[in-house]
Amino acid sequence: MAPQQRKPHVCRNPDLIRGVGKYSRSKMYHKRGLWAIKAKNGGAFPKHEKKAVEAAPAEKPPKFYPADDVKKPLVNKRKARPTKLRASITPGTVLIILAGRFKGKRVVFLKQLTSGLLLVTGPFKINGVPLRRVNQSYVIATSTKVDISGVNVEKFDDKYFGKKVEKKKKKGEGEFFEAEKEEKNTLPQDKKDDQKSVDAALIQSIEAVPDLKSYLGARFSLKAGMKPHELVF
């Protein structure tokens, strides 16, 4: 017999109405078997000795009392955690982005980052959407899933996507500025390689499904007669 399986215990004193139990105090005494416990213990209820309480170290009265009473802020026990992910969004789901530069693009969901944003990729070769963060609120989750098992997304986190901190330059002359601006516009090569490695496995599993590649390459739009509240995504 499996040790964990137990029939859920029905309560001994069911409510007739809220606040009124079916059995009286004396009946409950009998039902709980307190008489049997007492009998086993020789007439009195078994007691255990109290643990000796150590004397608290003597507190000296404080030397300094502040002039005005300062209000203490209320206790806040909330913990920061990433936004609750909708049940329809699982790794490999095709999402439709609704706002921003890539609005209407159908995109593959990879994972949720610790900030709560969703990590998403086009794949870049198919629709031009790179590895990118997207907010869950600006996304429609479709029920189409892509096989994502061959992709390793461990190394991506919010810091990867943060703005690069520039070293503070003293106010120089005009020549200084032009030299700096030209370097910033290109993507570093390692980010391009990351994109390629993530997309390689993805594109293989996408090409396994007929029409999925052209589906991801097309944008979504509402046409005449489409009622969003009646559409099944």
Judged by CB, which is closer to another protein: 106, or 132? 106
Q: Which of 169, 182, 127, 123 is nearest to 148 (CA)?
A: 123
Token pair, residue 112, equals 């949720």
Coil, strand or helix at 17: strand
Q: Using CB under 8 A, which of the segments 13-21, 24-32, 151-159, 209-217 binds another protein?
A: 209-217
| Residue appearing with tokens 């429609």 | 140
Provide, rounded to whole angstroms, the least separation between the CB of residue 144 and another protein: 4
Q: Which of 151, 157, 103, 86 is nearest to 123 (CA)?
A: 151
Report CA dihedral (61, 63, 67, 72) to the nearest 10 degrees: -60
Q: Which residues pair with 118 in a beta bridge?
A: 112, 134
The span from the CA of 86 to the CA of 144, in Å, is: 15
> Of residues 26-55, which lie at the interface with another protein (CB under 8 A)?
none
Provide, rounded to whole angstroms, the least separation between the CB of residue 185 and another protein: 35
Judged by CB, which is closer to another protein: 26, or 143? 143
Q: For residue 39, give every residue at least 6 positions away whose Cβ sits within 8 Å of its Cβ, in sequence order, or none.
A: none
Q: x-or-dash pattern for another protein, window 79-98, by CB under 8 A?
A: ---------------x-x--
- Total binding residues for another protein by CB under 8 A? 16
Considering the rule CB under 8 A, would residue 143 count as an interface residue with another protein?
A: yes
Considering the rule CB under 8 A, would residue 144 count as an interface residue with another protein?
A: yes
Judged by CB, which is closer to another protein: 94, or 131? 94
Q: Using CB under 8 A, which of the segments 12-20, 126-134, 139-147, 174-182 binds another protein?
A: 139-147
Q: Which of 97, 89, 86, 91 is nearest to 216 (CA)?
A: 97
The span from the CA of 115 to the CA of 160, in Å, is: 12
Provide, rounded to whole angstroms, the least separation between the CB of residue 204 and another protein: 19
Considering the rule CB under 8 A, would residue 5 count as an interface residue with another protein?
A: no
Residues that bind another protein (CB under 8 A): 94, 96, 106, 142-144, 211-212, 214-215, 218, 220, 230-233
